[in-house]
Structure 1
Amino acid sequence: LTTLKYGFVKVRQQGSEQVFTVAGGVAEIQPDIVTVLADAAENIEEIDEARAEQARQRAQEILAKGVPADTDAYLAIEAALRRSNLRLEAVRRYRKPSRPNFSGEN
């Protein structure tokens, strides 16, 4: 049993691979199976890059004004910044670029 921090998990199954962001949790590793219980997980194909960038900018702007006196507010802003940075890194590192559709089909 091991703890998970903010990072990435690659799931390989029957020749295919998916990448997820994880934000904390635990993993149990056995010889033939790995079980992950994440506090939060997100498939990188579902990440909205523009929205993640906006969230990152909002969190940075709030922190640039000074550390909030309320500890809970500070921790929430810090967590939002970490999640948005994780999402952006995941998209830039692992998402395959989409190919343009020239066939006229949707």
Structure 2
Amino acid sequence: MGTIFHLDIVSAEESIYSGPAEFIAAPALMGEVGIFPNHTPMLTRIRSGMVRIKAPLKDEEAVYVSGGMLEVQPDVVTILADTAIRGNDLDEAKALEAKRRAEEAMKNKISEIEYARAQAELIEAAAQLTAIQKLRNRGH
């Protein structure tokens, strides 16, 4: 039995992480899942949140994802994220501004489509702010 597996986290824009991992925790649609080496194969949707990565001989890393798919194979785990941002690259000011704009748009909605778009943007901004807060608390 192996003690590591290969992890790839990619978004439409770039590859965020590609390398060995001893463990990951990911925000699956129905709750957080923990993946260790030799995990049972699975395919599941993921929601917005943090993927925690424990790589050999390194501190835990975090990557924010906003939805996508998680695939687990015997020696490879792949996350295909709609958006992926390294935890250290999250911008609290941008997330707060996006949240404010979305809330304003929801108040002034002109159509159901605009309301739904603003609601999705609000959910995304709130998820980023939650991730930033978790990272901040973990650092202390």
Give TM-score, length-normalised by structure 1: 0.76
Q: Which has the higher helix share?
A: 1
Percent sequence identity is 34
Give, in whole Å, the separation in 2 of the partners of 1:41 and 1:2: 17
* Structure 2 unaligned spans of 5+: 1-42
Give TM-score, length-normalised by structure 2: 0.60
CA deviation vs aligned residue, 1:57-87 (integer Å, no higher than 9, x gap): 111122123x43151x223212211111111
C-alpha distance 12-68 of structure 1, shift in aligned 2 (>3 A): farther
User: How well do the aligned residues superpose, as a CA RMSD in angstroms?
Assistant: 1.8
Q: CA deviation at 1:36?
A: 0.6
1:25–1:36 Cα contact (<8 Å) kept: yes
**Post-superposition, which runs of at least 4 consecutive aligned residues in structure 1 deviate over 6 A?**
none
5 Å-filtered alignment, 1:1-106, equals 1-14=43-56, 15-65=58-108, 67-71=109-113, 73-95=114-136, 96=139
| Number of aligned residues | 95
